[in-house]
Structure 1
């Protein structure tokens, strides 16, 4: 039987405890998860550099050999195909996320018909956390340590 590899793509600017929750819960279904930080053409300026996020997320999952963290700059469906990931793992916080993710899922299915999107509902106590809120709090000097699974200072 082939390995069940899931791709968990996103801009992760920054990666939150909500994202971590989705990845760890995904391990119950998949043999391997690739956390893939993409260059989002809709978000021209990142707050945290991609290489910094790769390093921080990799450290957060250092005890999980079946989780890898990479960056990519191509269509998600093509990246998934190249990495033998037949599942696209996504988290949903609310109905707005569902509407957005559903559209993307349909496009990805058209581009890579063998790939299934798997949606996990965010754990309720983490559902309000978003990368944009964390960026805003951090930008103005607030403590974001309880919202992210790693230290910002190496």
Structure 2
């Protein structure tokens, strides 16, 4: 673990999956402090509200609460990272298809904040295929998501889907 290095793990986390949780766990082994930065998601239509996503993320990272905090941000990620004293940005890579986008994003972020390194982490093999988009779709179509998300996220997801069906 690097001493006193703050890393920021940004995302919409709509919802937070076991893959996200695995990346957080891996990041805690490398950095003294990890901030899970939940994006307001102005460019994406989120299923969950910002507060719901923050609450689910906080519950998911409880085992690492001595090292991990959850905060929201809107606007330019650069401003958030710099304001928190971040020296690294953690990004999860599931497959080669993620790499092109993440590589371009890392290049842009390096231009905006040259003092911050982007670190790519891959989740365990059993989580490589999980995406929040797939999890939402499976839940909306009545499928089981317990293999992809923690129990609290599953409960929130099923409640949200039931609420949408009633509307």
Q: Do both share a fold (TM > 0.5)? A: yes
- The residue that corresponds to 1:23 in the other structure is 24
- The residue that corresponds to 1:46 in the other structure is 46
- The residue that corresponds to 1:118 in the other structure is 119
C-alpha displacement at 1:63, in angstroms? 3.0
Contact 1:72-1:79 at 8 Å conserved across structures: yes
* Residue ranges of structure 2 left out of the alignment (5+ in a row): 157-167
Distance in 1, matches of 2:122 and 2:4, equals 24
User: Which is higher, the Rg of structure 1 or of structure 2?
Assistant: 2
C-alpha displacement at 1:139, in angstroms? 1.1
Aligned-residue CA RMSD (Å): 1.6
Normalised by the length of structure 2, the TM-score is 0.85
Contact 2:90-2:119 at 8 Å conserved across structures: yes
Which digits, 9 at most, give the CA deviation of each residue in 1:94-139, with x for residues without a partner? Answer: 1121110111111111111100000012221111111111000111
Higher helix share: 2
User: Which structure is higher in RCO with an 8 Å CA cutoff and minimum separation 6?
Assistant: 1
Contact 1:59-1:150 at 8 Å conserved across structures: no
Normalised by the length of structure 1, the TM-score is 0.92
Report the secondary structure of 1:147's partner residue. Answer: coil
- The residue that corresponds to 1:87 in the other structure is 88
2:70 counterpart of 1:61 = no
C-alpha displacement at 1:3, in angstroms? 1.4
Report the secondary structure of 2:152's partner residue. Answer: coil
Report the secondary structure of 1:98's partner residue. Answer: helix
- The residue that corresponds to 1:77 in the other structure is 78
Distance in 2, matches of 1:50 and 1:137, equals 21
- The residue that corresponds to 2:165 in the other structure is none
C-alpha displacement at 1:12, in angstroms? 0.9
Contact 2:87-2:117 at 8 Å conserved across structures: yes
Distance in 1, matches of 2:117 and 2:126, equals 27
Distance in 2, matches of 1:61 and 1:70, equals 12
Distance in 1, matches of 2:139 and 2:133, equals 10
> For this pair of structures, how many residues does the alignment match?
153
Distance in 1, matches of 2:40 and 2:53, equals 12
